[in-house]
Amino acid sequence: MAAAVTMPAIPANVAEWIAAFARLTGPARVHFCDGSEAEFDMLAARLVAEGKLIPLNPDTHPRCFLHRSHPDDVARVEHLTFVCTRERDEAGPNNQWLPPEQAHARMRELFSGCMRGRTLYVVPYVMGPPDSPYSRLGIELTDSAYVVLNLHRMTRVLPDRVYSRIAGGEPFVRGLHSVGELDPNRRFIMHYPEELAIESYGSGYGGNALLAKKCHALRIASWQARQEGWLAEHMLILRIETSEGEPYHIAAAFPSACGKTNLAMLVPPPAYRAAGWRVSTIGDDIAWLHPGADGRLWAINPEAGFFGVVPGTSRATNPNAMAMLGEDVIFTNVGLTADGQPWWEGLSEGVPAYDWQGRPWRREMGPAAHPNARFTVRASRCPSYSPLAESPAGVPIDAIVFGGRRADLVPLVMQAQDWTQGVLLGAAMASETTAAASGATGVLRRDPMAMQPFCGYHFGDYFEHWLRIGASLRSPPGVFLVNWFRRGTDGGFLWPGFGENIRVLEWIVRRVRGEVGAWDGVVGWLPEEGDLRLEGLALDGSTLSRLLEVDREGWAAELADIGRFLDGFEPRLPERLRERLRALKRALAG
């Protein structure tokens, strides 16, 4: 029998909602989270006692834990993710759709009695700096203490703030989550943007279960943003200070597992550091962008922590991440050394004794860490974290960057000729799939603005919304396209990437400042010879020209394919994008 629910002083609408979910799911007890470190320690100790968390070596990794998820539950499940609007067209062809009443009925059946013997945790959180007018509220109800620990690090769990703002009439996103039986055949992630509600069943992993992240801060928030005149985007936010100490802010959209965290935490190479260049981190995954009274676009990071991909992280690729991964981290699905240290592919030191499933590891078994293994860590632990991430107003964005993982065609960097072309190039972005979502990896797919899995409404309306936001700005950011992932005939990457990407950021900043010209490659403006600083890089002339070429035939085929892709969003595709595509095709042929 379900235990009686005792409530702290919380608003009546919240209490009623919790009580109804408790009646449906039948937990043995309800725990109202206070967000304190004592609560984190208590829950971590409980999970350790249950064998669901493994404390790591306290001498090398104090307050660090390893969690092994179910082997069938290791990534976001896009094929089981639905947007449930009253009208099918609102969700668009970019989302799987169910009528809300049908989705609710299915979820009610799954949730029914699913928490017997378990604890129901109530996690009230703020997304964004709590004093920011752009911050938003959510409450996740979950039966996973692992989820609670992650939300402690990823969001601001502030019950008093949340309850008092709700009592004052503010809306909040209602998230319901149960790990259920972790059966992939009984797993769904449902979104009801019109109700500001999320229901997730059957997964304990990442974006499926930490509802504040992809479900709230992107799918539901993108819907809210459209109603309210702002943008919720899958973007990192970084601050770059030039050698003269001038600050610029860049928001960059890349698909999952394409290096957003590494770019956000970039450490410039020694010559740049010596000259005074500095990069600091405001966010690594999500940006909420608001037109400001000054006609610029202002960004906040709604999150308070990082849930980053671990494999490939090393002192060479991301020294800032390595510095923050030594203490107070939850690792998920990494390997383990004999002396209890986390291990993953890309680390130069240590040898794994166990793989991510806890099996004794031998080389012939392949990777010890799962390719989508993750770290969860509070953002303030990152040495490059900027205090401006706590600024209620956010930071003014000077440049928007779109980037995908493409072996060919897309040059290292180019600039869109205006906002409309930027929206077109963003809408047409394509990238090779990665292990962040279940399914085949390395398959090229269109991923508009890196939002294919995350836009909570029809992409045709979304592109129109982008055009409108641009038109409302007196000083819109420049829009750029980058591609760190061009490959040569031997399959190797042509561009060194990581810290060396500062060279591309420098060109972007110099373009924004109006300091350098660019040549017109029709699909975009590209660096003039000598403007992209390359001293100290072992790049031969032919590699460089491949990185910065515009292959007109290749682009003609690309534009034709983009046209076919965009046809899928008719009749809601903005005519202005269609016109610009036609104009580009003509210019390329001419």
Q: In what order do the strands lie in the sheet with 65-67?
A: 54-55, 65-67, 330-332, 374-378, 305-309
222 CB-near residues (< 8 Å, 6+ apart): 231, 232, 233, 451, 454, 455, 456, 457, 462
Q: How far is the CB of 34 from Mn ion (least distance, A)?
A: 28
Q: How far is the CB of 285 from Mn ion (least distance, A)?
A: 4
CB of 162 or CB of 430, closer to ligand OXD: 430
Chain centroid offset of residue 467 CA: 22
* 206 binds ligand OXD per the rule CB under 6 A: yes
27 CB-near residues (< 8 Å, 6+ apart): 2, 3, 115, 116, 118, 119, 120, 143
Q: Which listed option, Mn ion, ligand OXD, none, makes contact with residue 361 (CB within 5 to 8 Å by class)?
A: none
498: alpha, beta or left, given left = phi > 0 and alpha = psi -120 to 50?
Answer: left
* 154 binds ligand OXD per the rule CB under 6 A: no
Q: How far is the CB of 278 from ligand OXD (least distance, A)?
A: 25
CB atoms within 10 A of CB 516: 15
Tell me, yes or no, if 258 is annotated catalytic: yes
Pick from 233, 285, 398, 461: which binds ligand OXD (CB under 6 A)? 285
* 215 binds ligand OXD per the rule CB under 6 A: no
Residue 51's DSSP bridge partners are none
Query: How is residue 544 written in tokens?
Result: 């460089």
CB of 298 or CB of 307, closer to ligand OXD: 307
Count of positions (residues) in the chain: 590
CA atoms of 501 and 260, how far apart (whole Å): 12
* 307 binds ligand OXD per the rule CB under 6 A: yes
CB of 217 or CB of 395, closer to ligand OXD: 217
Pick from 92, 207, 371, 411: which binds ligand OXD (CB under 6 A)? 207
Q: How far is the CB of 437 from ligand OXD (least distance, A)?
A: 7
CB of 305 or CB of 394, closer to ligand OXD: 305
User: Which phi and psi (to 5°) does residue 341 adopt?
Assistant: -105, 150
Burial 245-281 (b: 16+ CB within 10 A, else e): eebbbbbbbbbbbbbbbbbbbbbbbeebeeeebbbbb
Report 439-498 residues binding ligand OXD (CB under 6 A).
Answer: none
CB of 285 or CB of 461, closer to ligand OXD: 285
Q: How far is the CB of 307 from ligand OXD (least distance, A)?
A: 5
14 CB-near residues (< 8 Å, 6+ apart): 139, 163, 166, 172
∠ CA(579), CA(583), CA(586), 5° rounding? Answer: 140
* 205 binds ligand OXD per the rule CB under 6 A: no
Q: Which listed option, ligand OXD, Mn ion, none, makes contact with residue 104 (CB within 5 to 8 Å by class)?
A: none
Report 57-76 residues binding ligand OXD (CB under 6 A).
Answer: 76
Q: How far is the CB of 469 from Mn ion (least distance, A)?
A: 21
Burial level of 353, CB count in 10 A (0-12/13-18/19+)?
A: middle
Residue 83's DSSP bridge partners are 97, 191
How crowded is the C-beta side of 272, counted as CA atoms within 13 Å? 23
CB of 100 or CB of 206, closer to ligand OXD: 206
Number of chain positions touching ligand OXD (CB under 6 A)? 7
List contacts with Mn ion (CB under 5 A): 256, 285
Q: Which listed option, ligand OXD, Mn ion, none, makes contact with residue 100 (CB within 5 to 8 Å by class)?
A: none
Q: Which listed option, ligand OXD, Mn ion, none, makes contact with residue 76 (CB within 5 to 8 Å by class)?
A: ligand OXD
CA atoms of 504 and 259, how far apart (whole Å): 15
Q: How far is the CB of 287 from ligand OXD (least distance, A)?
A: 13
**Active-site option among 33, 64, 84, 258:** 258
9 CB-near residues (< 8 Å, 6+ apart): 163
CB of 208 or CB of 341, closer to ligand OXD: 208
- The contact set with ligand OXD (CB under 6 A) reads 76, 206-207, 256, 285, 307, 436
Q: What residues are annotated to the active site?
A: 258
